[in-house]
Amino acid sequence: MAGMAARAFPLGWLGWRYVERPFRRRGPEAVWPGTRFLAVSAVGLACFIAVGGVVHLRPYALSPLAITDTLINKNAVRSASWRALLNNPARTEEMSHFAPRAAGGTVNVLVAGDSHSKDMFNALALHEDLFPGFAFRQAGINGYCYDKVGLFGPEPVDVSACVRDFIEEFDAKTKDADWILMSVRWSLRAYFVDHLAEMISEFEAAGYRVAVAGGAPEFYDSATFMRRLAGRHGESGLDKLLIDAAFTQSLGQDVIVQNAQIRAIVEGAGGVYLDKFGFSCTAALVLCDAVTVDLQPLRYDEAHWALAGAQVFAARMARMDWLAPLRGGTIRKN
């Protein structure tokens, strides 16, 4: 911002000196001859169009580093993560309900939450072959169980009503679900944390088992930070170890503290707590993964998973049998 401000003054002076001032003058020599003025204007307009086209169609083309392509164009990476399943017209019907149970029984898991439930759903449903015996569907819990602000301030949340409304709204999925797996960006959902124990009790009273995935690790914004690293080290100086180490240093500690609180709430309410740090970082958080071995981003911002991240994390969840606590029986409690 300081650099932009510094550049604004000389650009403003040039505009005043060569555009505004000549046009304010009167007489035959007040401005450039018409043909020269039109020619200069046309050249300037062509330059603006060319630069704008490059930035719009290939925003990473201004960077000499090919490895930063998908990171800089994070809007495309974000859109791809939503289009893979939830906004994919070709799979709308398939995703609207659970398929009939296969012989031998299938554990139906309904992933519920905000945009982090989309991330978890991509990891599980796009790689369902890694999780035999499970089937996955997703339902956004946005709009349910939120704190409401009335005329005289925050109004109390009726958790029983909001859970009931959620179940009824997504009846095509909830009627066959065995587990509700909540995946939420808890750091932005304080009201969910405040009412989490009651929500678990209400879901269990309705016959569902409840699992809660803790908060995902949060770092610097991937696109911005990656460009900073590229500028500092150059293409030849960037490798996976350096990038992972740099991102790990930016790991937000608040999520770790909050996860301890969430685990206590979940286990105290009789639910199952599932830790996201175990497949994101090595033991004791010594190193967290930010990119793949070929330097593709695992996240498109500070916390949301790109499709590459969903693939990497799914493979790790399968190896560590992350869903083991959800295995064992398909019959709902009630």
pLDDT tens string 255-275: 999 999 999 999 999 999 999
CB atoms within 10 A of CB 77: 25
Residue 334 lies in a domain: no
Q: State whether 216 and 166 are in the same domain.
A: yes
Whether the model clears a pTM of 0.85, i.e. scores above it, the answer is no
pLDDT tens, position by position, 187-203: 988 888 989 999 999 99
If one compares 322 and 10, the residue with the highest pLDDT of the two is: 322
Which pLDDT value is given to residue 61? 39
Q: State whether 173 and 310 are in the same domain.
A: yes
Q: Which of 130-139, 210-219, 277-286 is the least confident region?
A: 277-286
Question: For all residues of the chain together, what is the average pLDDT?
Answer: 82
- The candidate with the shortest Cα–Cα distance to 250, out of 279, 283, 282, 290, is 290
The percentage of the chain sitting over the pLDDT mark of 70, rounded to a whole number, equals: 71
Q: State whether 59 and 71 are in the same domain.
A: no
Q: State whether 119 and 209 are in the same domain.
A: yes
Which pLDDT value is given to residue 289? 92
pLDDT average, residue stretch 280-308: 87
pLDDT tens, position by position, 139-157: 998 666 766 655 555 566 7
Contact 182, 210 (CB under 8 A): yes
Residue 257 lies in a domain: yes
Alpha helix positions (H), the chain: 2-15, 21-24, 34-57, 69-72, 74-83, 92-95, 115-125, 159-169, 171-174, 190-194, 196-205, 222-233, 240-249, 253-268, 307-319
* C-alpha to C-alpha distance for 246 and 276, rounded to whole angstroms: 20
Which pLDDT value is given to residue 25? 62
Q: State whether 301 and 184 are in the same domain.
A: yes
Residue 332 lies in a domain: no
Which class for 192: exposed (0-12), middle (13-18), buried (19 or more C-beta within 10 A)?
Answer: buried
Which pLDDT value is given to residue 154? 58
Cα torsion 29, 31, 34, 37: sign: positive
State which residues form the domain around 179: 67-326
